[in-house]
Amino acid sequence: MSVSVTKLKSGIDVVTDTMAHLQTASLGVWVNAGSRNERHDEHGISHFLEHMAFKGTRRRTAREIAEEIEAVGGDLNAATGAETTAYYARVLKADVALALDVLSDILSEPAFERDELLREQSVIVQEIGAVADTPDDLIFEYLQAVAFPDQPLGRSILGTEQTVRSFDAAGLREYLARNYRAPDMVIAAAGAVEHQAVVNEVERRFGKFNGAANSPPAPASFGGGTQVEKRELEQVHIALAFPGVSQTDPALYSVQAFTNVLGGGMSSRLFQEAREKRGLCYSIYTFHVPYSDVGMFGLYAGTDAADTSELMRLIVDEIADTAETLSEQEIGRAKAQMKAGLLMALESSGDRVGQLARQMIVHGRPIPTDELVGKLEAVTVESARAAGHALLARGRLATAVLGLGPALESAAAIAETLTRGAASSTSQQGGMS
């Protein structure tokens, strides 16, 4: 196995995967903190900090940060999630040390100059506006808020215009000091890298990060409910969600297989029935998002206002029917797709480095490929059906509907029949036991 792990005295985990056939390397810093770690008055600060990290340090201006990486043909980027924030680069083999120097610099010595703060506040406010103007993005903001009401996991990662404009250098430094600590950081590299050389560079450049691990965020709780917003749009956008499973739940792979069969691709039941056979929509798909302690199984569809009720009845029928009638052939196809996705990711240093970092954060170790494949292969028709039944039996549904037409409220009402049907099925099963 080409994967190596070293835990530094500070608590930072360094994980590498040497891919000898490559001449480039992907590497980055993953922090076990995201929007879930924000206090009430910090809504959006995780994402704002990610932006501000690139806006100058004590050693480099914002332009110099970009130019140093691009001068060697590399690229630099970052991403903020609910539970992690990542800063990463891709460079040639000879420039790994430079990339680590830049990454350490932007995180340990950010300048947070006032002019840059004000400028980036305006940029993010525009980003918030862009989401508000994009219904197939906005619908997921609504769905998240309904699924996890009055808690950080239900809030937009971007924040609001009011909160973003309230951030200052002192608040950023406080958040940074509280959450960016060595035991909460993973530095991962894949491709043309040598493990000990990366370890040596990390020890030299990330020495300012220390202290005990931060307290985990408060447990999340799936709420449920309905949000319907009338807006003049060409389509009605619909999103549904049930409580899913966490990243470490033994049923995770069975849930993913159920999700795949129901709406995970062009061969899925929903795509074939709703789009190919009936022409009720252009886009329809299911998804499952696992977090550290909870999960969210959901569905999205966009349709014409006149077809909303018919599509919703089809969705309700297909979800319930899939949990009952999943076939061996469908599970075989789902497992093949999942396995191919996993193995294809191993061929990309960028995908591989992200995979390694997530495994270290979630499991505390890199997961061997054979072990992952074994978990996929262990999924059966029975386990996938059981996973589908369990999703529906949790009895809570979050629904978001956006658009125009008389069918908006009826769409939400039709969706509610899913939970009533699941409750009835559970009751009958209990009576027969």
Per-residue pLDDT tens digits for 102-147: 999 999 999 999 999 999 999 999 999 999 999 999 999 999 999 9
Residue 422 has pLDDT above 70, yes or no: no
| CA distance linking residue 182 with residue 108, whole number of Å | 12
Residue 427 has pLDDT above 90, yes or no: no
Sheet holding 225-230, edge to edge: 225-230, 398-403, 236-243, 295-303, 281-290
Q: Report whether 311 contacts 263 (CB < 8 A).
A: no
The contacts of residue 206 (CB under 8 Å, 6+ apart) are 10, 12, 104, 108, 182, 185, 187
The owner of tokens 């769905």 is 143
Q: Report whether 402 contacts 142 (CB < 8 A).
A: yes
| CA distance linking residue 226 with residue 2, whole number of Å | 48
| CA distance linking residue 152 with residue 38, whole number of Å | 7
* pLDDT tens figures, 300-322: 999 999 999 999 999 999 999 99
Q: Give the domain 3-205 fold.
A: Cytochrome Bc1 Complex; Chain A, domain 1 (3.30.830)
Residue 2 has pLDDT above 50, yes or no: yes
Q: Which sign, positive or negative, has the C-alpha torsion 79, 150, 222, 395? A: negative
Q: What is residue 426's predicted lDDT score, i.e. its pLDDT?
A: 44
Q: Do domains 3-205 and 225-432 have the same CATH topology?
A: yes
Q: Which residues pair with 303 in a beta bridge?
A: 236, 281
The owner of tokens 């509280």 is 178
> Nearest 5°: phi and psi at 66?
-70, -45
Residue-range domain boundaries for the chain = 3-205, 225-432
Which residues are known catalytic residues? 50
* pLDDT tens figures, 56-110: 999 999 999 999 999 999 999 999 999 999 999 999 999 999 999 999 999 999 9
Q: What is residue 421's predicted lDDT score, i.e. its pLDDT?
A: 57
Q: Give the domain 225-432 fold.
A: Cytochrome Bc1 Complex; Chain A, domain 1 (3.30.830)
